Amino acid sequence: MSHKHNHKHQTHSHQGHDHDHGHHDHGAGTIDHPRAYEVLISLILAGRRRRLYTQMIDRAGMTPGDHVLDVGCGTGYLTRLIADRVTPSGQVTGLDAAPAMIDYSRRHAAANCTYVTAEAQQIPLPDKSYDVVVSSFALHHIAPTARAASLREMFRVLRPGGRLLIAEFRPAEGHPVERWLNAFFGHAMRTGLRESLPPLATEAGFHIDTITKTQPAAFHLLAVRPATDRETASR
């Protein structure tokens, strides 16, 4: 891959934001208890976590030497799997709004992982600096009114031709996973991400490649930043 950057990322912390805001504006808010999150996500994914996250890495086409941004990295589980895939010649940056999650991720980080405390709608990283941007089960934590800005930021930091892979929940009504998610995240699970995400990504400048149903009760959206600004303008 071309356009590799060996930049170092300074940690930014949005200290002015309340990171325990629950269901603010119908987003699920940030999660501030890493160990509790690890237990919760393991239960929700029913032992399929590693396989599902490896599918994400495969679908995004990550290869050795890639520079990857993991938006809403949480405890850094996916970030560490990506670090293995891109090898020491690549670089992974994990971004999360919750300082507790970033602290946990740093304690378990691989050598080629860097972590940044920031919100997805204000990514403090350079333009066109990543080959792949990935976000796993994080977008529902962002208030619906901030999701368009978050996707624009993901577009901005991707190099031309770079890929975006988003995984989100879409449980069928009455599915056990739906009951788990509604219990923990409430209204955030009823905002129709499967329906609202594709137009938001298109408006941000992406070309939608595929939308794939995955198990249990989730979907993947794969999109591409056009290789030239002319392609974006001609959408």
Residue 160 inside a domain? The answer is yes
Range of the domain at 96: 41-233
Indicate whether 30 belongs to any domain: no
In-domain check, residue 16: no
Most confident of 51-60, 63-72, 178-187: 63-72
Is 219 a member of any domain?
yes
Residue 95 is part of a domain; what is its CATH number? 3.40.50.150
- Give per-residue pLDDT as tens, 104-144: 999 999 999 999 999 999 999 999 999 999 999 889 889 89
Q: How many CB atoms lie within 10 A of CB 86?
A: 23
What are the residues facing 127 on neighbouring strands? Answer: none
pLDDT for position 141: 82
Structural domains of the chain, count: 1
Question: Residue 199, preceding bond cis, omega within 30 degrees?
Answer: no
Handedness of CA 8, 127, 154, 63 (dihedral sign): negative
Residue 161, pLDDT above cutoff 90: yes
Distance CA 81, CA 74 (A): 13
How high does pLDDT run on average in the chain? Answer: 79
From the list 36, 33, 62, 228, the residue with the least C-alpha distance to 133 is 62
Query: Is residue 82 a part of any domain in this protein?
Result: yes
Predicted confidence (pLDDT) per residue in 33-52, tens digit:
666 666 566 666 566 667 88
Position 224 in a domain: yes
The span from the CA of 157 to the CA of 177, in Å, is 33
Which two structure tokens, joined as six digits, stand for 46?
Answer: 């029913």
Residue 120 tokens read as 């997805």
Give domain status of residue 31, yes or no.
Answer: no
233: number of Cβ within 10 Å: 9
Total-model pTM: 0.75
Average pLDDT rounded to a whole number, residues 141-168: 96
* pLDDT computed for residue 218 by the predictor: 79
The answer to whether residue 188 scores a pLDDT higher than 50 is no
Residue 7 inside a domain? The answer is: no
Q: Return the higher-pLDDT residue of 95 and 141.
A: 95
